[in-house]
Structures are given as C-alpha cells and as structure tokens.
Amino acid sequence: MNTIVGYYFFYIKTNFKKILIILLLITIIPVFLFKTGESKIDKILNFELSILNYQKKQSSSPPLFTNHQPLVTNVTESFDIRKIVWEGAWKLALRYPLFGTGVETFAYSYNFVRPVAHNLTSEWDYVYNKAHNEYFNYLSTTGFVGLISYLFLILSFIFYVFLSVIPVKIPSSERMTKQNNDTILTVCLLISYLTILITNFFGFSTTTIQLFFFLIPAFVFSAFLPTTTYPLQPDKLTNIQKLGIFLLLSSTIYLLYSVAIYYLADVNYSFGLKYSRINDQQKAVEYFEKAVKLRPEPVYIDKFSSSLSYLSAIANIQKQYELAKKIASLSDTYNRKLIQDYPKNLFYWKTRAKNMYYFYQITGQENEILQGVEALKKAMELSPTDPKIPYSLALYYSIIYDIGKNNPEKIEWRKLSLQEIDKSIKLKPNYQEAYKLKEELLKKYNLYKVGP
C-alpha cells in the first residue's frame, strides 16, 4: 500500500515537502491504527486508554484501607524473551560457525545451547522454530557463509538502486518519460524493501514477506532491462520445442501431485493431533497412519509411534495382551528407526522415554524403565538446560526404587531421584511441579520434615 500511494503522489507532483509529509503519514497512521505488537510502545500509543486511566485516578479518592495486593502478572515481555533467544542463536553460530546447523533446524538445535535464563520466562516450555530475528536465524542455521551471502544479496540490490537508478534526473515537465516513472516506482519499492529489512530484525519472514523480499528486486531489475526485440517464429513447433513442452507439462503434473499428497498428509496429521489432545488415541492412530502412508515425514512417524505406545497400554488394561504386544512392537520399530536416522533430535528421545514407560505397563519389567532412563540421559546431553528432563529422570528412578528388591540398590535409586529433582529445581527455581514432586519423594522415602 505504501508503495502504491507513494508512487501515486510522486507521479502527480515532485514537491519534496509534500512528498515527505505524505510518506510520514502513510508510515505513522498504520502504526496508530494497528499498533506495533510491543506492549510497552502500544500502551503509549493508546491515548484513549491513557486518558481514561488518568481521569479515573483524578476522580477517585485513595482508599483508607487496602486488604489486597496489586495484581501481578507473570507474563514475560516479548522483547526480553527475544534477547534470550538471540543469545542462544549467537552461541549456535559460534559452535557451528561455517555452515550452521542446517536450514530450518533452529527448533531442534536451539536446545543444544538454550540459556538457563529462558527457564524463568513465561514461555519457558515453548518450542521456538525461529530465532525471531531473520539475521540471527540465518546465522545460526546457515553459519557465517549463509549470513554473508544473505547480506551480500541485500546490499547488492541497495547499491544497484543508489548507483544506477536514483541518479537518473527527473524533468520538471509534467509529461514524464517511462524511464523516469520507473525511477520513481523504484524509490517507492526501495522504501518498502527497507521496511522488510527492519521488521525482519525483530521477527522472521512470513511466506508473503519472503516473496516480496525476492520479487521487489526482480521488479526493479526488469524495469531497467534493455528492451530486446526478437524475430517472429514460425507457427510450426520444432522437435526440441515439443520435447521442452512435454517435460514442462510432466514436471508440472508431478509437482502438483506432490503438493496434493503433502496437503492430504498434513490434513490427516492435523486431525490426528486433535484426537490425540482429547485422548481419543484410537482415532488419532488411524489418522496418523494415513498421514504416514501418504508421506512418511519424521514428525508424523514420531506422533504415530507415541500414540501407538499409549494404545498398547490401553489394550493391556483391557486384557488384550497379544494385541498390546503387537502394537508396542510396531511403536518401538518406528521409534528406533527415527532415532537411528536422527540421533540428535531431542524430541524423538523424549518420545522414546515416554514409550518405554507405557511398555513397562505391559511387561512390568525393570529393563523397560532402564531404557527410558537411558533415553532421558541422551536427551539431557542434547538439552542440558531443560528442567523437564531431570524431573522425568527423578520419576523414573523412583519407579525403579519401587520395583527394586536389593536394598543397597534401592538406596542408590533413591539418591539418584533426589539428585535429579534438585537439578530440575536448580535449572528452574520457580518450577512448582518440581517442588511438589520433591515433597512426594521425601514423604515416600520417610525423609520429609515439617518445620525447621
């Protein structure tokens, strides 16, 4: 919109002051109307609310007695969280400086270097699939090579505009040439392009923004390409042209088919997630299986394996023992394959630990819990600052303590469970569930003391 309005007014009259005022208006008005997304800034921009609050303070007299504390919210400021995530992205860049961790791997690799400070935010257990800064995102996932290439692309376009396009003089006559019209349009496009660069610093590119990031330079380059005329071609197609058309049609059909399959698989996966959230695992498994058959994405397989393990435990409770074992075996096969193919994916190790707990419900064997412990230890190597992992380890050690028969070993399991829950509390001092679990463990071990 800014580009269209700016171009329109440039085209009518090239008065600098009027142009400047118009550009300021079309930049500032949307900020007041739609806000910035930053709560601190939006509070200042919301004049109506500020005036009402001021009038309320002036009209109301202070109470003589107050029996309540002011409402305290535990929501961490968005920018404070961003700074923590950027710190993690920078650590990733230092660990993998050349080519980064791989394109679109931030959701997995961020756990390797996740700052402990993140545990004290209101979004401590969220999965961050982006660094919330396009430049840090490129730096962490593609390394310095990727970031330098990205910046080179940006600077090349900006320099091209300033050195080749803007120096063209605009005549004062009302009738402008096409070249000058293109120059004015280029200036407006450049302003839009710069706004993309600024917003990308505080967030990440959406699909639409990413399209404009590449299309705007393409528009500018095409506007200033020299016009070339080609001789008319005969109506009859040559064999090479026929072959080219055939290959183009074939590849188009294949790509459309692939997109359709991807879409159908994703729809089934979405339905599976919805049923999984309401604990209808039977339906969830059906949809996850359809998704996996259409497109064996690792994420689909992981959820399929997880739901199968839960379903196997349900079958065991219903005394369908053979069916429970078959489902558990299928779940374990999928999970082992994922871990073998993606050994550094934290989420697949967590799934394995959870699966082993369900398998323990079927077999009652200590070995299943021990395998779950090993999976959690591997997860801790990948994400040493995640407080949920030592919390789960404390639970697993307490289960082994319950089923153990050897007294010296039971003492060791008890010791390990208390060590892990203390580690969880140390990583997240405000982790209420960890404090509750510690209290339960101390009561179970007859170590709980009331008072000083």
- Sorted by sequence, the CB contacts under 8 Å of residue 299 that are 6+ apart come out as 269
Question: pLDDT-based confidence at 44, cuts 50/70/90?
Answer: low
d(CA 373, CA 356): 9
Residue 389: in which H helix or E strand, if any? Answer: helix 388-403
d(CA 444, CA 436): 12
Q: 193-207, 230-244, 294-308: which has the minimum mean pLDDT?
A: 230-244
Q: What is the pLDDT of residue 73?
A: 54
Q: Does pLDDT of 96 surpass 50?
A: yes
- What whole-number percentage of the chain has pLDDT above 70? 78
Nearest to 108 by CA among 355, 335, 392, 298: 298
Q: 135-144, 156-165, 324-333, 443-452: which has the minimum mean pLDDT?
A: 443-452
Question: pLDDT-based confidence at 379, cuts 50/70/90?
Answer: very high
Domain ranges of the chain: 1-67, 77-226, 243-444
Q: 54-63, 126-135, 239-248: which has the minimum mean pLDDT?
A: 54-63
Nearest to 421 by CA among 408, 439, 434, 404: 434
d(CA 141, CA 130): 10
Torsion of CA 422, 423, 429, 431, to 10 degrees: -80
* Mean pLDDT, residues 248-255 taken together: 96
**Block residue for tokens 């209290």:** 439
Q: What is the pLDDT of residue 311?
A: 94
Q: 237-246, 293-302, 382-391: which has the minimum mean pLDDT?
A: 237-246
Which tokens is 305 given? 């394996």
Buried b (16+ CB within 10 A) or exposed e, 379-403: bbebbebbbbbbbbbbbbbbbbbee
Nearest to 313 by CA among 323, 303, 301: 323
Q: Does pLDDT of 155 surpass 90?
A: yes
Better-predicted residue by pLDDT, 48 or 303 = 303
Note the pLDDT tens digit of each residue in 273-309: 999 999 898 999 999 999 999 999 999 999 999 999 9
CATH class of 243-444: mainly alpha
* Mean pLDDT, residues 88-99 taken together: 94
Q: Roughly how many angstroms between the first and final C-alpha of the chain, as a whole number?
A: 67
CA 117 from chain centre, in angstroms, equals 19
What does residue 445 show for φ and ψ, rounded to 5 degrees?
A: -90, 5
Q: Does pLDDT of 397 surpass 90?
A: yes
* Residue positions counted in the chain: 452
Amino acid at 75: V
CA distances 426 to 266, 329, 430, 435, Å, are: 39, 37, 9, 11
Mean pLDDT of the chain: 83
* Mean pLDDT, residues 418-444 taken together: 95
Amino acid at 136: F
SS3 39: helix
Question: pLDDT-based confidence at 72, cuts 50/70/90?
Answer: very low
Q: What is the pLDDT of residue 381?
A: 95
Residue 199: in which H helix or E strand, if any? Answer: helix 178-202
* Mean pLDDT, residues 54-82 taken together: 56
Q: What is the pLDDT of residue 202?
A: 84
d(CA 294, CA 270): 14
Note the pLDDT tens digit of each residue in 309-337: 999 999 999 999 999 999 999 999 999 99
Question: DSSP secondary-structure letter at 164?
Answer: I
